[in-house]
């Protein structure tokens, strides 16, 4: 399947690409509306600052085509900032509007713990799902972030606890997103990406 990786200059595009190729998918870096429209599935990767992602999408005039594709039901996977972008806004850049596909705001993790939340952590799985098929609470995933989604959101499939619980995995219809980096999370991460490809197929 042709999987469009939204390419707006994010650092983790090559590693997402490599991980997908190993799973037999055909990743393609896409930075145009047309590329999004013709793809079989879309992945929005991201590391760094929320503002950089939102501004890059706007500069490339990708905001509307991306929202449109997601709302039309094209299989979507958001990674890290790609999860955060789905919500209405973020404390990291309060002046910018998120994609607004999901209701809610991205907030900073509590200062009672070392930030960024950096390293391998486990999930508390709230309900079974296709995205987490074959994965368990014993599996570790690699996180690198300071801001996160509210654990109480209804689309939350699994939470992670670091200072407080936050939304780590979500799935709603064909919209999937993870706060960690599956492309950097060894065999467990590869399994999750494989599950997404099956959802998208």
Partner 1 sequence: MSLARRIIPCLDVDGTRVVKGVNFAGLRDAGDPAELAARYNAEGADELVVLDIAASRDRRPTFLETIRRVAEQLAIPLTAGGGIRTLEDARSVVEAGADKVTVNTAAVLRPELISELSKEFGAQAVVLAIDAKREQEHWDVRVRGGHDSAQLDALEWAKRGVEAGAGEILLTSMDKDGTQSGFDVALTAAISGSVSVPVIASGGAKLPKHFAEIFGAGQADAALAASIFHDGVQAIRELKQFLQKNNVEVRLSC
Beta pairing, strands 26-30 & 2-6:
parallel
One of 185, 192, 197, 199 touching partner 1 (CB under 8 A):
185
Residues contacting partner 1: total by CB under 8 A: 38
CB of 70 to partner 1, least distance (A): 24
Token reading at 59: 């500069």
Restricted to residues 96-155, the positions that interact with partner 1 (CB under 8 A) are 111, 114-122, 138-140, 142, 144-146
Q: Is 183 a catalytic residue?
A: yes
CB of 176 to partner 1, least distance (A): 19
Residue among 133, 151, 146, 119 nearest 199 (CA): 133
Of the listed 80, 92, 145, 171, which one is catalytic? 80
Token reading at 117: 């939340």
Strand partners, 166: 150, 160
CA 198 from centroid of its chain's CA atoms: 17
CB of 13 to partner 1, least distance (A): 10
In angstroms, the CA 8 to CA 132 distance is 28
One of 31, 161, 172, 174 touching partner 1 (CB under 8 A):
161
Q: Is 154 exposed, middle or buried (0-12, 13-18, 19+ CB in 10 A)?
A: exposed
Restricted to residues 5-34, the positions that interact with partner 1 (CB under 8 A) are 11-12, 14-15, 18-19
Q: What is the dihedral of CA 170, 173, 174, 175, to 10 degrees?
A: -40
Looking at the annotation, which residues are catalytic?
Answer: 80, 181, 183
Binding site for partner 1 (CB under 8 A): 11-12, 14-15, 18-19, 47-49, 52, 111, 114-122, 138-140, 142, 144-146, 161-162, 181, 183-190
């Amino acid at each position: 399947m042709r999987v469009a990786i939204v390419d707006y200059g994010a650092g983790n595009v090559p590693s997402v690409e490599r991980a997908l190729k190993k799973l037999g998918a055909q990743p393609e870096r896409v930075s145009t509306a047309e590329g999004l429209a013709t793809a079989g599935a879309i992945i929005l990767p991201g590391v760094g600052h929320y503002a950089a992602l939102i501004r890059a999408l706007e500069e490339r005039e990708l905001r509307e085509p991306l929202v449109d594709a997601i709302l039309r039901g094209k299989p979507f996977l958001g990674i890290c900032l790609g999860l955060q972008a789905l919500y209405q806004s973020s404390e990291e850049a309060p002046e910018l509007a998120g994609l607004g596909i999901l209701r809610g705001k991205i907030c900073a993790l509590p200062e009672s713990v070392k930030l960024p939340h950096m390293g391998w952590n486990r999930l508390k799985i709230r309900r079974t799902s296709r995205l987490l098929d074959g994965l368990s609470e014993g599996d570790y995933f690699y996180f690198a972030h300071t801001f996160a989604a509210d654990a109480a959101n209804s689309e939350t499939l699994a939470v992670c606890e670091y200072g407080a619980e936050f939304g780590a995995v979500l799935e709603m219809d064909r919209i999937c997103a993870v706060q960690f980096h599956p492309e950097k999370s060894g065999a467990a991460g590869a399994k999750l990406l494989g599950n997404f490809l099956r959802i998208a197929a």
